[in-house]
Amino acid sequence: MNLERRPECKSAVADRKTEEQIVAVLLGIIELLAQSVGIMEKMIEKPVFMDDGTSKRRFRFTNPDALVFQVLMCARISSGLRAAAILLMNAQTTEVGVLFRTIDDFIANINFADELIDKGPENVTVAQREFLETYFVDDKRTSEELLESRKKINYNALRQKVQAAEARAFGDGNPDRTKKMVNAIDDVFSGVVHGGYSSVMEMYGGESLEKACF
């Protein structure tokens, strides 16, 4: 596959030099965001390495909470923006839109977790607590086990809880309209596209357990 930059499009809104300058600025901002994720990571516990030496080896958090959830979402936002910048440099604007769609969900999830943090763990609703518990389910099944048992998480149901939180936070007296607006830009969900726990933890690693990070 040829990954060289595509020829300049005649309908481009800016000349090549200006586009490159814009992308350079965006890359700088994305790098700052990645550094911020590193700072946030120091605020939470380090995940443990489980089942070493087996096909189920993986990193997982011992006591995940709303703050851990936010850091995972920020890690996906940083990764998604970096990938979007690379696609933008190659004029793959449609695929950039796909990534922006997922990033929009991650931001919504962060807003949802904000509400949980503001309330405190003792005041969250049953539905909100179940949202986090479902997200952090440690699905350690192998590919063969997945074929034998089709256990599926209902991401639409999880998303409805996030949408309700967004409506409360940004409804400004009309939460129903806000929820309808959110519904208008949402699509069918999948674990990988929307930052499922296992997929985010695939990004965690390093030369040693001590140096492991996102």
pLDDT at res. 72:
95
Tell me, what's the pLDDT at 88?
84
* Per-residue pLDDT at 66: 93
How does residue 5 score in pLDDT terms, banded at 50, 70 and 90?
Answer: very low
Q: 101-156, pLDDT tens digit by residue?
A: 889 889 989 988 998 898 888 888 888 888 888 899 887 766 666 556 555 666 66
pLDDT (0 to 100) of residue 15:
79
CA distances from 161 to 38, 134, 157, 170, 182 (A): 28, 12, 7, 14, 12
Distance CA(76)–CA(107), nearest Å, equals 10
Residue 36's pLDDT band (cuts 50, 70, 90) = very high
Task: Supply the pLDDT for residue 143.
Answer: 61
Scan for tokens 């189920």, then name that residue.
Answer: 56
Q: How many whole angstroms separate alpha carbon 72 and alpha carbon 76? A: 6
Pairing of strands 48-50, 58-60: antiparallel
- How far is CA 8 from its chain centroid? 31
Note the pLDDT tens digit of each residue in 50-109.
989 888 889 999 999 999 999 999 999 999 999 998 888 887 777 887 798 889 889 989
Tokens coding 141? 């099944």
Instruction: Give me the pLDDT at residue 73, please.
Output: 95
* Whether 198 contacts 47, CB under 8 Å: no
User: Which pLDDT value is given to residue 139?
Assistant: 73
Least confident range from 5-14, 98-107, 154-163: namely 5-14
pLDDT > 90? residue 13: no
Residue 100: its pLDDT value, please?
85
- Structural domain boundaries of the chain? 16-198
pLDDT in tens, 168-190: 777 777 777 776 666 655 543 35
